[in-house]
């Protein structure tokens, strides 16, 4: 080892004590060896942007924890740098110079390239490493950002203060390794030329990684307000407002400025660091851990794309959890669209400094506010700031994904048409909880109580809820959706609208509806199956919400087997625990009760948990909807042909596709049904005799499990049958308005629930009936004419009979009896149309609902 290397190692040794006392570094990803598939036999070289002895010591500490080669200063005398050597692209800044390119690293790279040529069987890998302190992007036009932004670009005095004040906020970010034996590296070129190219690639990587981890510099708030008010979009709205109200320009500009202040975030790195520390303590107290899945692709996209995170919305903790975890995973926390109802003291100020920007529930009738909000959102996108919004609009009270509100999606598309610096990519996020702290309030709302307005008093009341334990939380990132690619996929010619600030093409409304549905399907495709959801789904299949313990464990094992052997998607998260372990977790969380019985212990759900169980079951219902639908066919059929199964599934599927956002389109359904049928055969739920399928023998345990599986979609099938029963109860000359059909269907559901003791308020959710009436129209199962009404077509009879054949006889009889009772009460309310009226035509998708 050379004298210079010895001196460097001595310097590093002297640094260890102060660094041990002052610095607590965090690695991202937390396990780079696993994420980047690094092997013990790899010859690993760490590459950093700027020369730093501090970096070598931090990497040495990290390496001992991660079982990676120990970091060390590069010995330039060696023919090949040792595994664990650190290369630096730049030298450390001096008193006069700020930065200087370090040419020595290219010599080391050339040696490594040559070594790879000579030893093709060995894998030489360059691992880029970035180290951040405090992650403050700084403000635009600020001199201090050059002094305090990064320890590796600062002199000794600045470095001391950064270590002193930001030592506990240190992030060690590992990048995607460059394998010298990969096809991307041309070993046929001279080693020096290849080394020069690799050096350029690494410099680009560090620049992009900085943006993805720290984010763009923040704009002075006064400049932001003035810039938005002075923009062409807002100025046009000002002119219209002046003509409409007769107010002066200064008055309208003052109002526009107030709107910006009401809307805009006031991002503060200090607040982010404070929230990070506070939330770490909170999450450790109430959760058993936060499990993150499928983040690797998001890390890569963050370097080159404008990310729009679109999570499902189940809890107020959603936006805190997502931002917190992204920050700890080395990504920029997004600016979050929050409802104006959350802008109350003191939470509003905290959220605003944490990156929240506020929007009103409705923009209707206020063109100036709309223009200001559009301009603000456009500036976030154009500046490269990641954005997060909940397209459902509010928290789901049923556990299902809500129908998307398309306002934010439309503004995002308009921003893209106007022109942004980086392509926009939507990142669907599934957020799943084993338990939610809002559970008690949700039970009240499901029973019909009014939603409580967010306030300081409500915030103080949360303290009691936070004393409980809520199990694990799952953050699963779904398949990203590139906006431009999706436009091309939908065969929409959008180029003619490029550069237009106020473009609202004819295709926009329908496009954002389809876009919202596709995002919902990708959210559901990233679902996480957890103990509480699986136990809830199983017990809800029983009449009394109770089940023999061993039989419940066996059914949980069956659900896991189906999920593993016929996976719903590549992004789904399936637990590794057995059915017994899943049940134990649900018991620890207080979800179920165990009753000791000489004939065998019984597991049951009681009290409010019975209502909440429908919520948790709905979180994962879409995963088991198709296998449940296939099982339902065998409730009343002893032998069924393959063609019958496929036709029955295809007939009912459009309802499930729209209501539960099941991921397959109709063209993919045959293949999926085949996969599920084979899986059910493999698990002896079904048997094949000749050309027909039969259920397992009624004496076998697989038969009862098949019947339990069938119950998952029974409430949905009953709702479909309700609307169809009302349609087919009409006389030939009668029609019914859409709103009346929805209302009568809801009344019928409420009556069925009362008669049969169905303790699930979402069973008669009016929004579900709106969805299924929409499907009836879109699929041509009803004739409909604007302002007149609708009635069933001949093809609708096949649908009706197919659904009835999947319901038990008692359910059919109860349904028809309740329908007769309601028809008697509402006979005079149905609009009668003369038999000689003009023939009704099926309304196409582009027409509005009446």
Q: What is the pLDDT of residues 294-306, one digit of tens each?
A: 999 999 999 999 9
CATH at 449: 3.40.1130.10
Residue 734: beta bridge partners?
832
Give bridge partners of residue 41 from the DSSP assignment: none
φ, ψ for residue 299 (rounded to 5)?
-55, -45
202 lies in the same domain as 267: no
| Res 751: pLDDT | 84
How far apart are alpha carbons 1 and 3 in whole angstroms? 7
Report the alpha-carbon distance of residue 725 to residue 746 in Å, rounded: 12
Q: What DSSP line would sit under 592-622, residue for residue? A: -EEE--TT--EEE--THHHHHHHHHHHHHHH
* 478 located within any domain: yes
Instruction: Give residue for tokens 């049958």.
Output: 721
Residues 187, 285 within the same domain: no
Enter the tokens of residue 312: 């499902």
Query: Does 45 have pLDDT greater than 70?
Result: yes
Residue 702, C-beta contacts closer than 8 angstroms, at least 6 positions apart: 683, 684, 685, 696
pLDDT classification of 823: cutoffs 50, 70, 90: low
Which of the two residues, 826 and 241, has the higher pLDDT score?
Answer: 241
DSSP 3-state of 337: strand
Question: Region 321-336: what's the mean pLDDT?
Answer: 96
Residue 397 binned pLDDT confidence (cut-offs 50, 70, 90): confident
Mean predicted confidence (pLDDT) in 411-423: 95
Residue with tokens 């009302």: 726
Residue 178 φ then ψ, to 5°: -105, 110
CA 531 to chain centre: 20
658-700 per-position pLDDT tens digit: 999 999 999 999 999 999 999 999 999 999 998 899 999 999 9
pLDDT reading at 91 higher than 90: no
Provide the b/e sequence for 828-837 (b: ≥16 CB within 10 Å).
eebeebeeee
**Contact between 708 and 541 (Cβ < 8 Å):** yes
DSSP one-letter string for 756-769: HT---GGGG-HHHH
Domain end (from 525, 558, 574): 525
Q: Are residues 193 and 304 in the same domain?
A: no
Nearest in space to 114 (alpha carbons), one of 23, 185, 173, 56: 185
Where among 489, 509, 525 does a domain terminate?
Answer: 525
Q: What does the block give as tokens for 130?
A: 């970035």
Query: Do 310 and 183 fall into the same domain?
Result: no
Helices and strands (DSSP H and E) totals, the chain:
32, 24
Q: Is 783 exposed, middle or buried (0-12, 13-18, 19+ CB in 10 A)?
A: buried
* Confidence label for 606 from pLDDT (cuts 50, 70 and 90): confident
Query: The dihedral of CA 112, 113, 118, 120: what is its sign?
Result: positive
Give the Å distances, CA to CA, from 11 to 51, 159, 177, 508: 13, 15, 28, 62
509 and 414 in one domain? yes
Radius of gyration (C-alpha) of the chain in whole angstroms: 31
- Angle of CA points 241, 247, 249, to nearest 5°: 75
Pick the more confident residue, 351 or 501: 351
Residue 740: is its pLDDT beyond 70?
A: yes
Q: 28-37, 265-274, 755-764, 828-837: lowest mean pLDDT where?
A: 828-837
Q: Please, are residues 310 and 428 in contact by the beta-carbon 8 Å criterion?
A: yes
Q: Bridge partners of 528?
A: 573
Q: What is the mean pLDDT of residues 44-49?
A: 95
Q: Are residues 368 and 449 in the same domain?
A: yes
State the pLDDT at residue 827: 55
Please give the pLDDT value at position 817: 78
Task: Say how far apart CA 508 and CA 497 lie, in whole Å.
Answer: 11
pLDDT band at 702 (very low <50, low <70, confident <90, very high): very high
Q: Would residue 609 count as lying in a domain? A: no
3-state secondary structure 360-420: CCCCCCCHHHHHHHHHHHHHHHHHCCCEECCCCCCCCCCCCCCCCCCHHHHHHHHHHHHCC
pLDDT band at 378 (very low <50, low <70, confident <90, very high): very high
3-state secondary structure of 222: helix
Q: Averaged over 269-296, what is the pLDDT?
A: 92
Which has more pLDDT, 642 or 54?
642
Q: What pLDDT sits at residue 390?
A: 96
pLDDT of residue 839: 45
Residue at 24 is within a domain: yes
| In the predicted structure, residue 842 carries a pLDDT above the cut 50 | no
839 part of a folded domain = no
What is the torsional sign of CA 706, 709, 715, 718?
negative
Q: How far is CA 38 from CA 26, 126, 439, 526, 672, in A?
A: 19, 11, 43, 26, 36
Average pLDDT over residues 642-659: 96
* Distances from the Cα of 93 to the Cα of 96, 108, 215, 382, 481, angstroms: 8, 21, 23, 32, 42
Question: Measuring CA to CA, how many Å separate 840 from each of 71, 784, 836, 843?
Answer: 78, 6, 11, 9
Residue 752: per-residue pLDDT: 84
Q: How many Å apart are CA 721 and CA 730, to the nearest integer?
A: 15
* pLDDT score at 229: 96
CA pair distance 134, 653, nearest whole angstrom: 51
- pLDDT at position 59 is 92
User: Does residue 511 belong to any structural domain of this protein?
Assistant: yes
Collapsing DSSP to helix, strand or coil, 531 comes out as helix
Band (576; pLDDT cuts 50, 70, 90) = very high
Residue 448 forms part of a structural domain = yes
**Mean pLDDT for the chain overall:** 88
| pLDDT at site 146 | 44
For residues 477 and 409, membership in a common domain is answered with: yes
- For residue 741, is the peptide bond before it cis, meaning its omega torsion is within 30 degrees of 0? no
User: Which of 525, 556, 589 represents a domain boundary (last residue)?
Assistant: 525
DSSP per-residue letters across 130-151: EEEETT---BTT-THHHHHS-G
- In a shared domain, residues 277 and 355: yes
Same domain, 481 and 378: yes
Q: What is the rounded average pLDDT of the residues 89-101?
A: 66
Do residues 773 and 720 touch, judged by C-beta distance below 8 A?
no
Note the pLDDT tens digit of each residue in 765-818.
Answer: 888 999 999 999 999 999 988 778 899 998 899 999 999 999 988 888 888 777
As a whole number of angstroms, the distance between CA 314 and CA 298 comes to: 22
Closest by CA to 185, choosing from 113, 134, 99, is 113
**Nearest C-alpha neighbor of 346 from the set 250, 491, 459:** 459
Question: Which residues have CB under 8 Å from 426's CB, separation 6+?
Answer: 308, 310, 480, 481, 482, 483, 519
Domain assignment of residue 418, yes or no: yes
Dihedral sign, Cα of residue 374, residue 379, residue 381, residue 385: negative
Residue 377 clears pLDDT 60, i.e. is over it = yes
CA distance linking residue 376 with residue 386, whole number of Å: 13
Query: Bridge-partner residues for 795, per DSSP?
Result: none
512 domain residue, yes or no: yes
Do the Cβ atoms of 666 and 639 come closer than 8 Å?
Answer: no
What's the CA gap between 508 and 490, in Å, rounded?
12
Residue the block writes with tokens 């949905």: 716
- Domain identity same for 170 and 300: no
**367-383 and 221-230 helices, crossing angle to 10°:** 120
Indicate the number of domains in the chain: 2
- The per-residue pLDDT for range 170-189, each reduced to its tens digit, is 999 999 999 999 988 999 99
Judged by average pLDDT, the poorest of 52-61, 153-162, 560-569 is 153-162
Same domain, 188 and 315: no
Q: 371 with 478: CB under 8 angstroms?
A: no
On whether both 423 and 493 belong to a single domain, the answer is yes
Report the DSSP pairing between strands 686-689 and 692-695. Answer: antiparallel
Boundaries of domain holding 39:
3-213
Predicted local confidence at residue 64, as pLDDT? 87
DSSP state of 107: H
């Amino acid at each position: 080892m050379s004298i210079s290397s010895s001196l460097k190692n001595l310097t590093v040794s002297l640094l260890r004590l102060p660094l041990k006392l002052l610095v607590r570094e965090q690695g991202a990803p937390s396990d780079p060896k696993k994420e980047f598939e690094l092997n013990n036999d790899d010859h690993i070289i760490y590459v950093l942007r700027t020369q730093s002895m501090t970096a070598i010591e931090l990497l040495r500490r990290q390496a001992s924890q991660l079982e990676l080669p120990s970091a060390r200063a590069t010995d330039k005398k060696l023919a090949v740098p040792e595994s664990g050597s650190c290369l630096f692209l730049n030298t450390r800044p001096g008193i006069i110079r700020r930065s200087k390119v370090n040419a020595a690293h290219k010599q080391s790279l050339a040696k490594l390239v040559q070594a790879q040529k000579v030893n093709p069987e060995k894998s030489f890998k360059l691992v880029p490493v970035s180290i951040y302190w405090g992650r403050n992007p700084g403000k635009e036009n600020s001199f201090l950002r050059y002094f305090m932004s990064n320890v590796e670009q600062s002199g000794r005095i600045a470095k001391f203060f950064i270590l002193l004040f930001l030592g506990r906020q240190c992030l060690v970010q590992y990048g995607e390794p460059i394998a010298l034996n990969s096809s991307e590296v041309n070993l046929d070129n001279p080693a020096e030329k290849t080394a020069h190219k690799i050096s350029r690639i690494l410099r680009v990587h560090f620049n992009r990684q900085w943006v993805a981890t720290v984010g763009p510099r923040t704009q002075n708030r006064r400049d932001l307000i003035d810039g938005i008010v002075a923009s062409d979009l807002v100025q046009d709205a000002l002119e219209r407002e002046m003509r409409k109200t007769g107010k002066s320009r200064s008055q309208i500009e003052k109002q526009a400025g107030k709107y910006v202040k009401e809307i805009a975030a006031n991002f503060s790195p200090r607040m982010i660091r404070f929230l990070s520390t506070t939330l770490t303590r909170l999450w450790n107290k109430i959760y058993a851990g936060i499990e993150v899945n499928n983040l690797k692709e998001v890390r890569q996209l963050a370097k080159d794309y404008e990310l729009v995170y679109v999570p499902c919305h189940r809890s107020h903790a959603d936006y805190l959890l997502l931002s917190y975890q992204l920050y700890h995973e080395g990504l920029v926390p997004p600016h979050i669209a929050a409802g104006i109802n959350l802008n109350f003291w003191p939470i509003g100020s905290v959220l605003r400094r944490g990156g929240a920007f506020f929007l009103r529930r409705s923009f209707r009738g206020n063109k100036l506010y709309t223009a200001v909000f559009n301009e603000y959102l456009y500036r976030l996108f154009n500046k490269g700031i990641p954005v997060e919004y909940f397209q459902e609009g509010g928290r789901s009270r049923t556990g299902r994904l809500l129908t998307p509100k398309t306002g934010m999606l439309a503004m995002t598309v308009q921003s893209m048409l106007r022109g942004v610096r980086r392509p926009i990519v939507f990142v669907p996020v599934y957020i799943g909880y084993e338990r939610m702290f809002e559970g008690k309030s949700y039970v009240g709302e499901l029973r019909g109580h009014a939603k409580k307005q967010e306030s300081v008093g409500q915030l103080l009341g949360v303290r009691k809820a936070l004393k409980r334990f809520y199990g694990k939380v799952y953050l699963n990132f779904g398949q990203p959706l590139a906006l431009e690619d999706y436009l091309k996929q939908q065969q929409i010619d959008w180029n003619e609208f490029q550069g237009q600030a106020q473009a609202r093409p004819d295709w926009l409304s329908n496009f954002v509806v389809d876009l919202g549905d596709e995002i919902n399907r990708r959210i559901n495709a990233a679902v996480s199956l957890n103990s509480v959801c699986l136990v809830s789904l199983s017990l809800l299949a029983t009449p009394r919400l109770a089940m023999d313990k061993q039989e419940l464990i066996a059914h949980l094992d069956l659900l896991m087997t189906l999920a593993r052997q016929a996976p719903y998607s590549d992004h789904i998260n399936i637990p590794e625990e057995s059915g017994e372990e899943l049940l134990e977790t649900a018991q620890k969380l207080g979800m179920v009760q165990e009753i000791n019985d000489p004939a065998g212990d019984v597991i049951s759900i009681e009290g409010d948990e019975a209502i909440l169980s429908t919520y948790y079951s709905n979180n994962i219902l879409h995963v088991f909807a198709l296998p449940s639908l296939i099982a339902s066919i065998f409730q009343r059929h002893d032998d069924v042909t393959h063609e019958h199964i496929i036709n029955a599934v295809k007939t009912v599927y459009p309802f499930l596709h729209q209501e539960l956002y099941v991921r397959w389109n109709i063209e993919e359904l045959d293949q999926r049904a085949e996969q599920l049928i084979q899986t059910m055969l493999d698990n002896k739920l079904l048997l094949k005799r000749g050309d027909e399928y039969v259920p397992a023998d009624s004496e076998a345990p697989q038969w009862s499990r098949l019947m339990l599986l069938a119950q998952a979609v029974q409430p949905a099938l009953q709702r479909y049958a309700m609307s169809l029963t009302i349609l087919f109860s009409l006389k030939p000359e009668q029609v019914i308005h859409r709103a009346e059909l929805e209302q009568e269907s809801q009344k019928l559901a409420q009556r069925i629930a009362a008669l049969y003791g169905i303790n699930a308020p979402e069973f008669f959710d009016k929004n579900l009936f709106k969805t299924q009436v929409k499907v009836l129209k879109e699929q041509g199962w009803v004739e409909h004419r604007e302002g007149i009404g609708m009635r069933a077509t001949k093809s609708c009879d096949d649908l009706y009979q197919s659904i009835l054949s999947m319901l038990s006889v008692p359910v059919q009889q109860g349904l028809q009896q309740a329908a007769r009772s309601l028809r008697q009460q509402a006979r005079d309310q149905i609009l009668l149309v003369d038999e000689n009226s003009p023939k009704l035509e099926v309304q196409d998708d582009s027409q509005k609902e009446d």
